[in-house]
Amino acid sequence: MRLALYTYSYTDRLQLDVERTMAEIARWGYDGVDESSTFGPHVNSDSVSAERRTQIRQAAARYKLRVEAIVSHAELTGSLFGEQPLDLMQSIDLACDLGGDVVTFHLGGPVEGVAPEVVWNKTVAAIREAASHGDSRHVRVAIDLGPWPTWIVRNSDDLAKLFDDVDSPTFGVNFDPSYLAIQGIDPVGFVQRFSSRIRHVHVKDHIGRYPQWLHRIPGRGEIDYVPIVKALAEVKFDGSLAIECFTDMPLSDACEVGYNTLRLAMRQAGISPVS
């Protein structure tokens, strides 16, 4: 398993310099970074200019950081019935441009005024098309897990049905134990059920429960990462654990606390990071 840090809160939301951000991440020993599929308040990846793409590629190479995943932000279901649909093809092409092999997306919930089966069928078709395009470019598409009570997928059985309906062996999930835990869902049980579908991992912490919770830097909340890391190792997950922090969490704190927390959990679980 590799350790990464998601840069979005820092290089996009806080407008920190890409070069300095990558340098700080590398200084702590991380193997990679997650990058946003957009820049600024936009839906699609055409907002990431050629100049910015070059800057990200060069900085990542300079500090020997692997681009692990491209993370989109718009909810797919609502966007498909709005004026500007989320274009997962663009995100996949951006991943290829930056060297990543996973694109994550937020699934989204019911659409007002549209029959649930219509929303489901259009969403399935969009994911199937994106997964096919990803296959042609060696990029896997994955749902970025969030609060299920607001989504069209409300439990594990719904998620299994979505996998069946999309019918793509490469389509999977971005496993996020914090979002599962705040809803009372056992992250270890999720790993055991959906092991073949885990494409990437986002690591954040929290205090509280849905619908009232607060995000925290990993290690400053309620999650015990040791059984989670051990479960991932048992199913032979060999991808990236990417720490996700927010704009109220200083970069240096996020890097230090997150890295030390995950390294300790891996050591206690008897696992060594693999770069």
pLDDT tens digits along 20-33:
999 999 999 999 99
Average pLDDT over residues 225-241: 96
Domains belonging to the chain, first-starting first, are: 2-268 (3.20.20.150)
pTM of the predicted structure, to 2 decimals: 0.96
pLDDT in tens, 144-157: 988 788 899 999 99
E strand spans, 110-262: 140-144, 172-175, 198-203, 205-209, 212-216, 240-243
Residue 12's contacts (CB-CB under 8 Å, 6 or more residues apart) are 36, 38, 39, 40
For residue 192, give the amino acid letter: Q
Predicted pLDDT at 50: 98
pLDDT of residue 273: 64
User: What three-state secondary structure class fits 4?
Assistant: strand
What distance in Å separates the CA atoms of residue 32 and residue 264, rounded to the nearest whole number? Answer: 18
The confidence score (pLDDT) of residue 272 equals 75
The two tokens of residue 104 are: 């994550």
